[in-house]
Amino acid sequence: MPKPKQSRAKSKQSRAKALPWAVMLQAAMVVGRRWVALSKKDRERLTRLVRESRGRLGNLSARERSELRRLVGELDVNRMGRELLPVLRAGRRGRGRR
């Protein structure tokens, strides 16, 4: 029997409440450092591309997709993930296994 959609929303809400605020703040700082490292022009263009696409690459032209890839590459998402991993693991410490 499939779960109602409302219970999924509640679970997302409860997960956000269960995450310690200090960990969320540290994660925001890591992401913020990467974001600020982009030039203002690149930040504005990246924001515009994501808004225009509404999160779907298929809504962009081939040229816009390549530009988006370039801008995301400048964010260095792989390194950002490596920086976030210890922060997120630290946030899970002290909580029981689920």
Is 24 part of a structural domain of the chain?
yes
Is 43 part of a structural domain of the chain?
yes
Containing structural domain, residue 67:
19-92
Is 8 part of a structural domain of the chain?
no
3-state secondary structure at position 80:
helix
Q: What pTM, to 2 d.p., does this model score?
A: 0.59
Is 10 part of a structural domain of the chain?
no
Q: What pLDDT digit, counting tens, does each position of 17-74 carry?
A: 666 777 788 888 888 888 898 899 999 999 999 998 888 888 889 999 999 999 988 8
* DSSP state for residue 94 in the 8-state scheme: T
- For 46, other C-beta atoms within 10 Å of its C-beta total 19
Read off φ and ψ for residue 94, nearest 5 degrees: 85, -10
**Whole-angstrom distance, CA of residue 88 vs CA of residue 78:** 15
**Whole-angstrom distance, CA of residue 12 vs CA of residue 85:** 20
> How many domains does the chain divide into?
1
Is 52 part of a structural domain of the chain?
yes
Is 4 part of a structural domain of the chain?
no
**Whole-angstrom distance, CA of residue 43 vs CA of residue 36:** 8
